[in-house]
Each structure stands twice: as structure tokens, then as C-alpha cells.
């Protein structure tokens, strides 16, 4: 089952508490989901798909030792066998001010909300625009 977005821009949530993209920080010496996802995407625009981001950030939080490729594949199959939240629920667009641009192949790039590129995505008509999920109920 494919859960990637294609030609879609995920804008920050309406209740996002910041006015510009903020780099997430580790808490209590542990990397949060936001930190892991930011590290994956910040230096690698349009490299990872939504599925890659969701699975890898989950896997890295498990702190696995070097797992063989077949074990990682098995864990990935198990991970996606259950419904998973999409990147609209990611803390990056919900709390840290980062839009997520998904290209025609489903690969994701970060876009800070204060940038011209962010405004261009919102004003353009080449991508579907979705809002990140709100943190609080309306």
C-alpha cells in the first residue's frame, strides 16, 4: 500500500506556534521524531519518500544495532502492515514551521514557512496544497 503524496505541498498547520522554520532540538539527550526527520530531510531534498521518512524515524528511535537488510525489510513490512499517520501529522509542519514539498516521485523536501519558495508553492497551481494537521482540536 502506497502512502506517499505526489505533487503535493504540506503547508504548516493553522495552529503552528512559530513564524519561521525552527531547527528541532533533542530533549533529555534523546533525538525526537522531529529531530530525526529534520536530519533526514535538511541535507537531502527530494531523496526520501514519505514512507522512508516515517519508517526511518521510527526505526532510529528504536536504537537498533546494525540490522541485516532482510531484518530491516521485515520490520518495514510490519510497520506498514498497520495504519500509520502521514507526514501531515509530522511535528515539522505542525510545530516547527516547515512546509513539506512532495515531488512527482513522492520524494520530500523541507521548505521554511518564511521563505519565498514557500509562498510560491502556496500561490502556484502545479501542486495540490494540504495543511498539516492541527495540534489541538478546533
**Span 4-41, pLDDT tens digits:** 999 999 999 999 999 999 999 999 988 999 999 999 99
Question: What's the domain count of the chain?
Answer: 1
Indicate whether 96 belongs to any domain: yes
Indicate whether 87 belongs to any domain: yes
Residues with Cβ < 8 Å from 124, sequence gap 6 or more?
none
Cα radius of gyration (the chain): 15
Please write the tens of the pLDDT for every residue from 78-130. 999 998 888 899 999 999 999 999 999 999 999 999 999 999 999 988 899 99
Indicate whether 137 belongs to any domain: no
Q: Which domain holds residue 76?
A: 8-131
Indicate whether 136 belongs to any domain: no
pLDDT band at 138, cuts 50/70/90? low
Q: How many CB atoms lie within 10 A of CB 93?
A: 27
Indicate whether 1 belongs to any domain: no
Entry pTM: 0.90
Indicate whether 2 belongs to any domain: no
Indicate whether 138 belongs to any domain: no
Indicate whether 3 belongs to any domain: no
Amino acid at each position: 500500500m502506497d502512502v506517499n503524496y505526489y505533487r503535493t505541498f504540506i503547508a504548516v498547520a493553522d495552529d503552528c506556534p512559530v513564524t519561521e522554520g525552527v531547527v528541532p532540538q533533542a530533549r533529555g539527550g534523546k533525538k525526537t521524531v522531529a529531530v530525526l526527520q529534520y536530519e533526514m530531510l535538511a541535507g537531502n531534498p527530494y531523496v526520501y519518500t514519505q514512507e522512508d521518512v516515517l519508517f526511518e524515524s521510527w526505526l532510529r528511535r528504536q536504537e537498533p544495532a546494525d540490522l541485516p537488510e532482510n531484518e530491516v525489510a521485515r520490520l518495514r513490512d510490519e510497520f506498514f502492515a498497520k495504519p500509520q499517520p502521514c507526514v501531515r501529522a509530522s511535528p515539522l509542519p505542525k510545530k516547527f514551521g516547515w512546509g513539506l514539498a512532495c515531488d512527482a516521485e513522492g520524494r520530500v523536501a523541507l521548505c521554511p514557512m518564511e521563505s519565498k519558495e514557500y509562498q510560491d508553492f502556496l500561490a502556484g497551481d502545479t501542486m495540490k496544497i494540504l495543511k498539516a494537521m492541527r495540534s489541538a482540536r478546533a
